[in-house]
Amino acid sequence: MTDTTAPAPERSSSRFADFIRHASAGEKKRVYSAVLQGATERQLRTLKGQKKLA
């Protein structure tokens, strides 16, 4: 029979998980906007590069 009262093993938390858990809504929105802006810029550079090759 297994012991169901044993404590769960400790898990280390990532910086991302800590941020999601503890950041305010405004801070999450600011970071999300910055990430989307960076992704959009990278996608546009990729598309421009593909147009040059075509």
Q: Which of 10, 8, 12, 29 is nearest to 20 (CA)?
A: 29
pLDDT digits (tens, 9 = 90+) for 2-30: 667 777 677 788 999 999 999 999 999 99
Q: Please check whether residue 25 is in contact with residue 33, taking contact to mean a CB–CB distance below 8 angstroms.
A: no
Tokens at 13, concatenated: 């938390």
Side-chain-side CA neighbours of residue 16 (13 Å): 1
The H or E element that residue 11 is part of is: none
- Is the model's pLDDT at 1 over the cut of 60? no
Rounded Cα–Cα distance for residues 35 and 54 (Å): 29
pLDDT at res. 50: 87
pTM of the model: 0.61
pLDDT at res. 48: 92
